[in-house]
Amino acid sequence: MLNSSLLTLILATPSPSPTASDGSAMTYESYGPGALGFVATAFMVTLTILLMRNMSRKLRRVRYAEQVREEFEGAAASSSEDPARPTTL
């Protein structure tokens, strides 16, 4: 009995519609991100693009430096062998 009357009271109570602090109805402009949200998002996108470009340049330099090092080591190893002396196995 108590549960059914409480349920009836809860279901009969209308849900409040959102209103701003001044009592006017809330619109998208009153709670949306606005210009500041757009600027913050644009800044983050620009920063991410610049970071990706920088990272790809650094990775390219690392690959190139490794390739040069391997070529240098290969050339040093082949020049250190004496052609007049046979190699032993």
pLDDT tens digits for 35-77?
A: 899 999 999 999 999 999 999 999 999 998 888 888 888 887 7
CB atoms within 10 A of CB 85: 7
Bridge partners, residue 72, by sequence: none
pTM across the whole model: 0.48
Bridge partners, residue 25, by sequence: 19
Bridge partners, residue 19, by sequence: 25
H/E segment holding residue 3: helix 2-12
Dihedral class, residue 25 (left if φ above 0, else alpha if ψ from -120 to 50, else beta): beta
